[in-house]
Structure 1
Amino acid sequence: MTAQLLIGPVLRRVTGDRATIWVETSEPAHVRVEAQGGAAGAAATFCAYGHHYALVVVSGLAPGSTHAYRVTLDDHEVWPAAGSPYPPSVIRTRAADDSAQPVSLLFGSCRQGTPQATGRHLPPDALDAYARRLMADPDHRPDLLVLLGDQVYADETSHKVRRFLRRNRPAGNEAPADQVVTFEEYTKLYLESWRDPEVRWLFSTVPSVMIFDDHELIDDWNTSASWRADMSKEPWWRERISGGLGSYWVYQHLGNLSPDELAADPLYQKVSAAEDATDLLREFGLQADDPGSPENTDRPYQWSFALDLGRTRLVVLDNRCNRVLTPGARAMLPAAEWDWFINQAHGEYDHLVVGSSLPWLMPPAIHHLEAWNERAAESRRPRWAAFAEKVRRAFDLEHWAAFGKSFTALGELFRRLGEGGVGAPGHRVGAGGAYAAPASISVLSGDVHHSYVARADFGHAMATPVMQLTCSPIHNEVPLPLRPLMRFSWLPPVARVARGLARSAGVAKPLIRWKRLSGPYFGNAIGTLTLTGRTASALIEGTTRDGRLHEVAASTYRP
């Protein structure tokens, strides 16, 4: 049979004169990508669970230029699709010396599939709206699309996926009837979401990186040690975690790696060389979720990643899989990965951008409630601890504030960066160990299904502005009854009450304060962070009823 293109091409990393393009095909195939100007690359597909994938490295791209490209499977052209109404897909490279070139990052999180797939009456999809605008104005193409979690919903499936589950699961299966569990079932989520025509075109022409949040696996994923203990008792959980992490590695994580990182990744080398990588990925998914496995003794598999664009450093953190959940020692990242993050904070850059699926700075009342809950759930009184654990799971109290040591450590890192000087972890500007403060620090986040901009206050004058930019959802919604609660949680009187609750549990007052500058906005939205010279500009745009974008928040900040 002639191989067909099932998903893709998805343009992922563009690094210097090289780019990576990911595809899924219907059959084994030799995949070749040819770009204008003579740049090209090819790869054979690899097989896992009966599915076929390739990640092609295109080499020889001219700097500072735009290259239309085509994709062939076994010399049969499959992209651009015949009769496509969309503009050509292109690979755009940055200048050889891009230090003075602006950087534009498009970001957001929480995207359910198309309206036809979900069966829900959601507001218009912000990615669809952005794609249509880019088609009309291709000169304003962003450098990178940063997707911050919940790219698919394993536990909130569409009518179409649920029909597939009913028809294909064996009788007596104990897995939740409306949730995906196996790798095969996960592929249906990506198929229905990534084949949305406008989004498919956008993915083919704007580079993208991605990190998971909980719904790629299940709501409340790794919220606590007791949660993990409860989930491990479910007969379907091992297959769920194996299929979820294996499919995430294939569909999302692989493309986060540069060509050099791919060449150095042992798992990718094994998978791409195997005749059938099913067993490799099944075991990998189980090991990556088990902090006690021999493979994870020194360092778990690292999902966090970093890259540089011009004078901007982007570090995207895993807020889910590698959490330390031991009571009394809870941490958002394990020690080895935190050390890696600190190392990434050193270097030659002007702007530091941290991608965190969970907001670092939450509405203050929610922050204090989560800090109280962490302490209460570790109470020596079993009934009180059990009550606090029920509250934690019921209200999703699992953000940075619920990992108090990590919240404080991240703030301390930003303070040291922002102050500069001797010993600060910024970029060196002279002899004697002196470091310059970054021009800006921006934390990009999603998860909470509303958008806002907040600025951190460290209690003294500091040159570097530290901002929380939260944009969520891309295509979902907040239930109407919850919206007033989210608004009230920003009010100082409500925050004082919640702070009193936290103080009663012995929680120390945060060393920083923060002020909301814009929001909250509850519609579907997409954010853009533009970094020009020493200036950062954040823009959040929501969708109108007819599927256009309009400004809902904007902020410009500089030293």
Structure 2
Amino acid sequence: MLKPTVGPIIGHTTTNQARIFLRGELQGNAAAFAGIRYRVTDSTQWQKGRFIQLDAKRDMSGVLILDNLSADTDYEYQTGWFSPMNPAHTLESVVELPLQWPRETYRLRTRSSQPLTPRAYILGSCRYLRLTAGIPVLPQLGDRIFASISQLIEGAQPPVSAIMMSGDQIYADDLNLIAPDREYKEFIAKYRAAFSQPHIRRLMSGTSTYMILDDHEIEDNWPARADAFDETLFRNAMAAYETYQASHGPACSLTTNGQVDHSSLKHYWYPFSDGDIEWFVTDSRTRRNLSDDNRQMIDDEQEKALCKWLIESNARVRFVVTSVMLYPDRKINSEDAWGGFPEQRLRLLEFIRRHRIRNVMFISGDVHGSLTARLTHSQDRDFEVHTIVSSPLHNSKLLPYATTSTFILDQPLTRTDTGEYRHELTSQVISQDNFAHMVVEPGHIQVNYHDRDGKHLQTVNIPLR
């Protein structure tokens, strides 16, 4: 067996199941298969291997499913791919082949189901990796922060449950003025390069990673400048996104025989849970309506699903991921974020306030600056939501960092007949490459920001109610 050309990437993980993405390679017309075997860490007996056939329509990639796992348990696994010499081999027959597994062993940990257990997450977004003629330029600059994240995770207590990447995992438009990506092969080349750098590869092979797209997976500020000629661009961008980001996440369901059902992918937003903590990851990019009479950041179906989740969830903390910021608004270009959709934003805030939903935290990226902020209501002391922003993992020298002066902070977010929504920063604005290490304790959330070398920048404590 050969090592994966991309991956392995641990995706959606529960108390008893894990999804693992990898890519092989096309070798003429020969069929290619991927396999995985696993065991409880430090045990001697491997479980019987699981296999899938790799699909040329998905860039010779696939998602392997491990199930019947035990909760809160460390496992180790080996994985790789191969093309058998006999073209007549099938999924059923390759199981019997005497395979030599790749020597490298990876580790994963399943979720705990225990309530009130402290849980930790890594937050990040906006990782710029420039390609020239398909080759990364100084890739170590865009990869070094992932070595720092891995180092933090190795000694973290409580263990880090997952990484949340909230947008701009690639920059398909890094040469937007000269030759923006339009063809499918150009998009998948970006993903191959971005996800196969050594430090991010090591990180995602051992910690489950959840992803959602933002504009740079498609085109800057999508779809504000889209025209009829961009239909092909969008179709190709989404095909690559579905392969490399959505396939190993909860947006895809599984078939009865334990394989990813790609036909089940009807939308990119998804909820998932981690014990008594729940997440709702919105698609705040591809379902926008920019018409003057019905501006929407998220479509009706998604808004209804989000509100239903908010009111029915019994979680002690509800995290809502929106790749662009809910608040505060930027002084310039606020139309691309929730500031450009004030009616829908107010509708969501009023829903949270009127239903007295507590401990709602909005997770965002996008702005190339990190911060935390608190939102209150002038006439309703019981209302409070927080935003936690982590961006960028690696910036381009062509793009500015956000600073405190970037945001509108001297006036209410919005005014209604029932009072004002008022916001304030609860942290400094970080204007450098960084990531957030977020720990959810029984009584508070601690957000620790670190620079690209892992140096601690600041800590923010958000009380839970």
Aligned in 2, Cα 1:508/1:549: closer, same or farther, shift over 3 Å?
Answer: farther
Which of residues 30, 33, 36 in structure 1 aligns to 2:33?
A: 30
Aligned position for 1:262: 254
Partner residue of 2:342 out of 399, 404, 410: 404
Task: State how far apart, in whole Å, the 2-side matches of 1:462 and 1:26 are.
Answer: 58
Q: How far did 1:180 drift?
A: 1.7
Q: Does 1:557 align with 2:459?
A: no
| 1:122–1:476 CA contact under 8 A, matched in 2 | no
State whether structure 2 residue 117 is matched by structure 1 residue 101: yes
For 1:336, which of 275, 290, 301 is the aligned residue?
Answer: 301
8 Å CA contact retained: 2:269, 2:282: yes
Q: CA shift at 1:271, angstroms? A: 6.6
The corresponding residue for 1:45 is: 53
Aligned to 2:182: 181
Counterpart of 1:474, as a letter, is L
State the alpha-carbon separation in 2 of the partners of residues 176 and 478 from structure 1. 16
1:66-465 → structure 2 map (5 Å cutoff): 66-74=74-82, 76=99, 79-81=102-104, 88-95=105-112, 97-113=113-129, 117-119=136-138, 125-135=144-154, 137=155, 141-156=159-174, 177-223=178-224, 227-228=225-226, 231-232=227-228, 234=229, 237-257=230-250, 261-263=253-255, 269=261, 301-345=266-310, 346-363=312-329, 366=331, 395=333, 397-417=335-355, 419=356, 437-438=357-358, 440-460=359-379, 462-463=381-382, 465=384
| TM-score of the two chains, using structure 2 as the length reference | 0.84
Aligned twin of 2:440: 531
Q: 2:295 & 2:99 partners in 1: Cα distance? A: 53
Encode CA deviations 1:311-353: one digit per residue, 9 max, x unaligned: 1110000011011222121011111121111121112211100
Root-mean-square deviation (CA, aligned residues, Å) is 3.3
1:164 matched residue in structure 2: none
What's the counterpart of residue 276 of structure 1? Answer: none
8 A Cα contact 1:112 1:118, kept in partner: no
Equivalences, count: 436
Instruction: Quote how far apart the aligned CAs of 1:198 are.
Output: 1.3
Distance 1:54 1:110 in 2: 25
Whether the aligned pair in 1 keeps the contact of 2:173 and 2:180 (CA below 8 Å) is yes
- 209-218 or 180-189, larger mean C-alpha shift: 180-189
Distance change in 2, residues 1:448/1:77 (3 Å) = farther
**Matches of 2:247 and 2:140 in 1, distance apart?**
33
The farther-off stretch of 62-71 and 213-222 is 62-71
**Cα distance in 2 between the residues matched to 1:400 and 1:526:** 22
Paired residue secondary structure (2:254): helix
Measured in 2, the distance between the counterparts of 1:9 and 1:510 equals 51
User: SS of 2:428's equivalent?
Assistant: strand
Change (3 A) 1:57 1:355: same
SS, match of residue 255 in structure 2: helix
Change (3 A) 1:178 1:466: same
Distance in 2 separating the partners of 1:350 and 1:445: 20
Greater strand share, structure number: 2
**What displacement does 1:407 show?**
1.1
Q: Distance in 1 between matches of 2:138 and 2:280?
A: 36
Q: 1:488–1:134: structure 2 CA closer, same or farther, 3 Å change rule? A: closer
Displacement of 1:516 after TM fit?
A: 0.5
Report deviation, 1:21.
0.4
**Aligned residue type for 1:102:** P
Q: Percent identity?
A: 18
Quick one: structure 1 residues 398 and 321, their matched pair in 2 at CA, closer, same or farther if it must change by over 3 Å? same
**Rounded Cα–Cα distance in structure 1 between residues aligned with 2:368 and 2:16:** 37
Q: 1:453 to 1:191 in 2, by over 3 A?
A: same
Worse-superposed segment, 22-31 or 121-130 = 121-130
Aligned mates of 2:316, 2:383 — CA distance in 1: 10
Unmatched runs of 5 consecutive residues or more in structure 2: 41-45, 83-97
2:386 alignment counterpart:
467
CA shift at 1:108, angstroms?
Answer: 1.2
Kindly indicate whether the alpha-carbon contact (under 8 Å) linking 2:361 and 2:387 is maintained by their aligned counterparts in 1. yes
Q: Residues of 1 paired with 2:80 and 2:394: CA distance?
A: 32
Higher helix share: 1
**Other structure's SS at 2:5 match:** strand
In 1, distance between residues paired with 2:222 and 2:449?
Answer: 28
Shift of 1:114: 8.0
Give how far 1:199 is off.
0.9
Distance verdict in 2 for CA 1:441–1:475, change over 3 Å = same
SS of aligned partner of 2:361: strand
Residue type matched to 1:444 in 2?
I
Query: 1:20-57, CA deviations, whole angstroms, 9 ceiling, x for partnerless residues?
Result: 10011013432222111455662323423582111111
1:360/1:491 CA distance change after superposition, 3 Å: closer
Tell me the amino acid that sits aligned with residue 216 of structure 1: E
Once the two structures are superposed, residues 479-525 of structure 1 have per-residue CA deviations (whole angstroms, 9 ceiling, x without a partner) of 687756x5263552xx59xx9xx99xxx9998411001112111111
SS at match of 1:5: coil
1:30 to 1:356, Cα distance in 2 relative to 1, 3 A: same
Cα gap change, 1:509/1:251 in structure 2, threshold over 3 Å: closer, same or farther?
A: farther
Q: For the Cα contact (< 8 Å) 1:487–1:520, is it kept in 2? A: no
- Look up the SS of the partner of 2:191 in the other structure: helix
Instruction: Give me the whole-angstrom Cα distance separating, in 2, the residues matched to 1:481 and 1:110.
Output: 13
The residue that corresponds to 2:73 in the other structure is: 65
Shift of residue 460, structure 1, vs aligned partner: 4.1
C-alpha distance in 2 between matches for 1:149 and 1:408: 23
3-state secondary structure, aligned to 2:69: coil
TM-fit CA distance, 1:140: 5.2
Cα deviation per residue 1:392-448 (whole Å; 9 max; x = unaligned)? xxx46311110111110121122134x2xxxxxxxxxxxxxxxxx53x211110000
- Tell me the distance in 2 between the aligned counterparts of 1:305 and 1:103: 20
Query: Residue 422 of structure 2: which of 493, 506, 513 is its match?
Result: 513
Q: Distance in 1 between the 2:279 and 2:107 partners?
A: 23
Q: Give deviations 1:195-237, integer Å, cap 9, x for gaps.
A: 11111011000001100000000001023xxx33xx21x3xx2
